[in-house]
Amino acid sequence: AREVGAALGVAVTGTTLASHASDGFLGGMEAALRVVAFVVIAAAAVVTLGYGKKR
């Protein structure tokens, strides 16, 4: 699971950087990290809600 998460993070970051190429590197990294942070928070919420229902 850790490897899949890392691969998805790299893929999302690369895709976001490529789509924000006109903003320069720092603008692209800002957007990429924002997207990755949102994905991580959403995944954590899903796992937390799923864990709470099984107990």
Q: What is the predicted pLDDT for the residue at 25?
A: 79
Transcribe 1-55 into DSSP letters: -HHHHHHHHHHHHHHHHHHTGGGHHHHHHHHHHHHHHHHHHHHHHHHHHHHHHH-
Q: What is the predicted pLDDT for the residue at 16?
A: 80
Gap between the Cα atoms of 22 and 17, Å rounded: 10
Label residue 54 by pLDDT band (50, 70, 90).
low
- Four-CA torsion 51, 12, 29, 31, nearest 10 degrees: -70
Q: What is the predicted pLDDT for the residue at 55?
A: 60
Q: What is the predicted pLDDT for the residue at 1?
A: 67
- Give residue-wise pLDDT tens across range 9-31: 788 888 887 887 777 878 888 88
